[in-house]
Amino acid sequence: MKRNDTPVATERDVEVSVVVAVYREAGVLPEVLGALREAVDSLAGTCEIIVIDDGSTDDTWSVIQDQAANDPMLRGIRLSRNFGKEAAICAGMEAASGRAVVVMDGDLQHPPLLIPEMVRL
């Protein structure tokens, strides 16, 4: 497993980690990440978004790297092959440093704009 070397914050600083497992989502990933950024920007405290590439065969990893290069809130993890959604989520949860973790699908099936309401509750 390779990890992006861009740390976002120290463990004690991160309030919410959003973990997103993706597989062959290069085409929609910029939209997904934009929606996630918009959702977590309204939260108090520091957030991080951890995107796990579960061995994609398309340009998913390149998209993650490009997005992470311009966003200190975003970290990427690349699995060496397709291990399945559960393993990808576990890798993301291990890497998460937030006091709370939100797990999302990478296809916008779960609306990111509900994250602030979930955190409030």
Q: Could you report the per-residue pLDDT of 17-34, keeping only the tens digit for each?
A: 999 999 999 999 999 999
To the question of domain 2-120 being in CATH 3.90.550.10, the answer is yes
Which position has the token pair 């690349």?
A: 78
- From first to last of its 121 residues, what are the pLDDT tens digits of the chain? 444 444 444 445 789 999 999 999 999 999 999 999 999 998 888 999 999 999 999 999 999 999 999 999 999 999 999 999 999 999 999 999 999 999 998 988 889 999 999 988 8
- Reported in sequence order, the residue ranges of the chain that DSSP labels E, i.e. its strands, are 2-3, 14-22, 46-53, 74-78, 100-105
Q: Following CA atoms 115, 37, 33, 4 in sequence, which dihedral angle do they give, to the nearest 10 degrees?
A: -110
| DSSP-assigned beta bridge partners for residue 56 | none
Q: pLDDT value at position 12?
A: 54
